[in-house]
Amino acid sequence: MTHPENATEFLKDSQKAKWHDETLWFVRDKRDKVSKGIPEWEQLRDLASGIKDNVLANLADYLEEFERNATKNGIIVHWAADSEAHNRLVLEILQQQNCTAVVKSKSILTEECHLNPYLEKHGVEVVDTDLGERIVQFLNQPPSHIVLPAIHLKKGEISELFHEKLHTEKGNEDPAYLTQAARVHLREKFFAAKVAITGVNFGIAETGEFVVCTNEGNADMGVHLAKVHIACMGIEKILPRRKDLGVFLRLLARSATGQPITNYNSHFRSPSPEKEIHIILVDNGRTAQLAREKFRNSLKCIRCGACMNTCPIYRRSGGFSYNSTVPGPIGSILSPGLDLKKHSSLPFASTLCGSCTDVCPVKINIHEQLYEWRQEVTKTQGEFAKGLSMKLANGIFKSPLAYKISGSLMRNALKSLPNSLIYHPLNIWGKNRNLPDPPKESFQQWYRKNRS
Amino acid sequence: MKTKSPSVALFIPCYVDQFYPQVGIATLELLEKLGCQVTYPSGQTCCGQPLANAGYARDTVGTARHFIETFNDFDYVVCPSGSCTLHVKEHFPAIAGLEIEQEALEHKIYELIEFITDVLKIEKLEGKFPHRVGFHSSCHGQRGLHLSSGSELNQPPYNKARKLLENLAGLEWVELSRTDECCGFGGTFAVTEEALSIQMGKDRLADHLQHKTEILTGGDMSCIMHLQGIASRSKQELKFLHLAEILNQALS
């Protein structure tokens, strides 16, 4: 289904859609307030953007520096060209450990690689330990937001789900009660897991350490109890120096949830005695994106989700409407690079309002890249563009009203525009909107009569 | 501005020309009242934005070339639309052989309000407009041309249109809950994502109605056409005027 079809479906439950919009707007508003609390906010964004530009321009060097230092620290470094290689590496480590049950803390990368179904197919139980992730996992759904994975669900729905899965009291919607039930359930899983998987927020080339940020402490709980820690990291997550974290940690928490600091920013540098740390550095389309000059800087993304919270489209269509692991504005510029045909409607799921660009803590010009992706989609006539041009052309030529109203405009414009000229197909326009009353004369006609 | 009369060309966007001639007239009269010598080059057509935003920027070379040639001989080009102005400045394809003219155009084209405040350097207008006015901040004017501060950014608040409006006697400025959320017009978005576009428009209107807007105004008739279309379909008692119409009326 295309984005417009999914959005139309989402909006049918108008009360829930309104609630979704308001809930995410609340997060955006919190972000606005907290970001205005520090006078150097815009300088921090400039700095972060500059540091990431430097990283992308020297990515190979930083990655090798990271590998050298991490290896020195006793971390085992692996490289994965794509998702299959990544998943295979994880499975091999698990098999070496005879491990059939793992705990995993939130990692968008493992979602991107579809690690869970892969491991389950090979007989491994995977438990997502972030509360929101566990909830969507119970429902067999992907996360609908990269920071707030279960934001599409209301309290009542979670209460019902927990009643079924965790045998909580029917109808008890108290968040503290439900969270406690999840804690008890997850604790058992933590104790049983020999291996813990985490994502990585930042890898530090200078020191060979990496940083994982969570609010629930679930990454730490998993890692400290397990014998083996597997960290999965996209190759763009590198920072040159430890002190760069001073810029990024301040931006990340404020942009993501409006908190001044994430509850747990855990640094992992070397394994404890008798334990192992593996890190898998994953490409999976990132170097291809790096080679696309217009879209390169989408790799600066630190996955804060601020562009989703601010996006008037995302708030009113929900994460699932994008059909892409990373939804929202940033997903709409990352995903076409992975599969242009599948994601061809995403660059059009925007009014190009530019709010995403202005909240982005690393200053990715998201709305300009959406515009550029549109140009690419129409070149290859992605499915959506084909439909779009048909729809627009039909709209104008099929509707005599449209043709009449825009008549002189069309005549003038056609002098210099090609035949595929596109103007509003007034038939769709008029479904829920009135047309302006056609004036008796155009401005041009008035001017000729009155001024020349 | 009394000492010098710049030659000003009026660029009236295609849909304003066809649907809202009164906005073109108000823009012209207002600029004349402010002492400008204004010409409307009659050969003008469209800036090509609908096509470019739909992903066919490569097909707008002819339109852009025609545009640059049409407006080449003027000191300034003024347009009552932030969106079309931004398109000319930032999204015209590079036109071979007209590089110098194109660059000059990018620097001499202004949206109407910024032309008044930044070029004519008019700080306030003396006039009267005794109404409750709600301002719709159009995205391309705001985030693209920086006609007002964005709620996303940590910057001192400002709003060029508000500065001019607030000085008018009797005008009450409406404070909205969401000061600069998109109305959902978005050009072809309005039809390709019809459901979302309508919902976004309804939400903007609700904000204005809740805060008792009497007249909804803005710098882009495209957003207003969309909002007005939804409001009139649901028989809402809102009036709609372009900023040029308010300022021109207030000054008469």
* pLDDT digit string, tens, across residues A188-199: 999 999 999 999
**Closest alpha carbon within chain B to A12:** B195
Residue closest to A351 by CA, chosen among A380, A311, A411: A311
Give the Cα separation of A157 and A162 in Å (integer).
Answer: 9
Per-residue confidence of chain B (252 residues) as pLDDT tens digits? 445 677 999 999 988 998 999 999 999 999 999 999 999 998 898 888 988 999 989 888 988 999 999 999 999 999 999 999 999 999 999 999 999 999 999 999 999 999 999 999 998 899 999 999 999 999 999 999 999 999 999 999 999 999 999 999 999 999 999 999 999 999 989 989 999 999 999 999 999 999 999 999 999 999 999 999 999 999 998 999 999 999 999 998
ipTM above 0.85, yes or no: yes
Please list the residues that pair with A265 across neighbouring strands: A213
Residue closest to A260 by CA, chosen among A271, A268, A272, A252: A252
Mutate one of A15, A392, A443, A452 to test the B interface: name it (highest B CB count within 10 A).
A443
| In contact, B124 and B167? CB cutoff 8 Å | yes
Q: Do B56 and A420 touch (CB under 8 A)?
A: yes
pTM given for the model: 0.94
Q: Do A349 and B193 touch (CB under 8 A)?
A: yes
Which of A25, A42, A352 has the CB atom closest to B155's CB atom? A42
Which pLDDT does position A400 carry in this prediction?
Answer: 39
Mean pLDDT of chain A: 92
Give the Cα separation of A273 and A290 in Å (integer).
Answer: 38
Which pLDDT does position A429 carry in this prediction?
Answer: 81
Which pLDDT does position A383 carry in this prediction?
Answer: 66
Please list the residues that pair with A43 across neighbouring strands: none
Alpha helices by DSSP H, listed for A232-327, are 245-257, 286-291, 306-310, 312-317
CB-based burial label for A54 (10 Å; 0-12, 13-18, 19+): middle
Q: Do A388 and B25 touch (CB under 8 A)?
A: no
Which pLDDT does position A435 carry in this prediction?
Answer: 83
| In contact, A204 and A245? CB cutoff 8 Å | yes
Which pLDDT does position B42 carry in this prediction?
Answer: 87
Give the Cα separation of A351 and B225 in Å (integer).
Answer: 15
Give residue for tokens 């919270």: A309
Shortest Cα–Cα distance, A153 to chain B (Å) = 20
Q: Do A371 and B91 touch (CB under 8 A)?
A: yes
Which of B20, B46, B199 has the CB atom closest to A413's CB atom? B46
Using DSSP's 3-state secondary structure scheme, residue A78 falls into: strand
Give the Cα separation of B196 and A3 in Å (integer).
Answer: 10
**Closest alpha carbon within chain A to B45:** A413
Which pLDDT does position B3 carry in this prediction?
Answer: 52
Which residue ranges of chain A lie beneath pLDDT 50?
Answer: 393-405, 407, 410-425
**Closest alpha carbon within chain A to B41:** A444
| In contact, B134 and B215? CB cutoff 8 Å | yes
Amino acid at residue number B182 = C
Shortest Cα–Cα distance, A410 to chain B (Å) = 9
Which residues from A are below 8 Å from B57, CB to CB? Answer: 375
Task: Give helix A366-379 / helix A383-398 axis angle, nearest 10°.
Answer: 80
